[in-house]
Amino acid sequence: MIPSPISQFRILSGEAVRDAARRRIVAGMVVLSLLSLLVVDSCTSCASGPIELNGQEVEASGLLGFTSILLFGMIALWTVALAGVLAADHLTQTLDDGSARLVLARPVSRGVFALSRLAGSLVVSLGTGAVLLGMSAFFLKVRHEYGFGPSAWSAGVAMLGAVTVASLAMIASFWLPRLLTFLLVFGTVAGVAFTNWTALAGAELSPFWSAANQFGPPIGTGIALAASQWTGHELDAQPLVVGARLLLWAVFSPALLAVLFSRREI
C-alpha cells in the first residue's frame, strides 16, 4: 500500500534534516552565529554610567541598549538570510547527485519531495535562528529589562520571512548556479529590508523599489514594527496588514516551489 503523502513527507523531511545537518556549510553558519552571539553579549554587557557623545552627556546603558535592539534586528535578518542560503542547493543537490531520481521513482509526488527538502533545511536554519534570537532576547531582558513580547514578534517575522526566502531561493536554484543564488539571497534580503526601512523613514523610492516595498515580503517593516514596541517610536505601518502580507508570502512561496518543481524535467 502506498504511504500517505503526509507519511512520505515525514519520512523524507526527517532524512532531509539529517542531510542538512551533515553539510559543511552548517558548521560555518554555526561559527558565524556564535560570533554574532558574542557581539550581542558584548554590546549588552557594558556597565551603566554617563558617557559623552558629540559633546552631550548620555546614559551608556540606554545608548548600548538601543544598539542591542539594532543588533537584534540584524540577527532576525541573518536568520532569514541563513534560511535562504541553506535552502539554496538543498533540493538541486539531490538532482545533481541523482539521489532525487531514486526517491522519485517511488510513488512519491514531486511536491511532497520538494516540500520535505524545504522543511529539512528550515528545521536547521530556524533552529539556529531560535537559539540566536532566544539568547539575544534573554540578554536584552536581563541586562536592559526589555520585554520578551517584541522579541517574540521579531522571531515570528523572521520565521515567516525565512520560509519565504528559503522557498524562493530553492526556486532560483533551478536556474542559477549556487554562488549566484547565495548572492541573490543576501542581496534580496538586504535590499528588501533596507527598502522597507527607507520607506518607514519617509524617503522617496524609485518605482521599482516602491513596488518591492508595497508588494514584496515586508520583512524589514515587520522587524521594525516589533522593535518599535521597545523604543516607543510610532511607525506608519499597520501591524495586521504587515502580518497578513508576511503570512501570504510564507504560504504562496512554498506552494509555488511545489508547482514549479512538479513541472520541471529532471
- For residues 46 and 103, which CB has a smaller minimum distance to other proteins in the complex? 103
Exactly one of 106, 147, 241, 244 binds other proteins (CB under 8 A); which one? 106
CB 102 → other proteins: shortest distance, Å? 6
- For residues 131 and 260, which CB has a smaller minimum distance to other proteins in the complex? 260
CA distance 239 to 236: 10
44: phi then psi, degrees, rounded to nearest 5: -105, -5
Q: What residues between 32 and 61 interact with other proteins by CB under 8 A?
A: none
User: Helix (H, G, I), strand (E, B), or coil: what is residue 24?
Assistant: helix
Q: Hey, CA dihedral for 89, 15, 77, 31, is it positive or negative?
A: negative
CB 99 → other proteins: shortest distance, Å? 5
Say whether residue 22 binds other proteins (CB under 8 A): yes
Neighbours of 195 (CB within 10 A): 24
The answer to whether 124 and 134 have CB atoms below 8 angstroms apart is: no
CB 110 → other proteins: shortest distance, Å? 9
Q: What residues between 86 and 105 interact with other proteins by CB under 8 A?
A: 97-99, 101-105
Residue 120 amino acid letter: G
Burial of 251 (0-12, 13-18, 19+ CB in 10 A): middle
CA distance 205 to 71: 25
CB 91 → other proteins: shortest distance, Å? 14
CA distance 257 to 254: 5
Exactly one of 15, 41, 194, 239 binds other proteins (CB under 8 A); which one? 15
Span from 8-16, 30-38, 151-159, 160-168 in contact with other proteins (CB under 8 A): 8-16
Q: Residues interacting with other proteins, by CB under 8 A?
A: 1-3, 7-8, 11-12, 15, 18-19, 22, 97-99, 101-109, 265-266
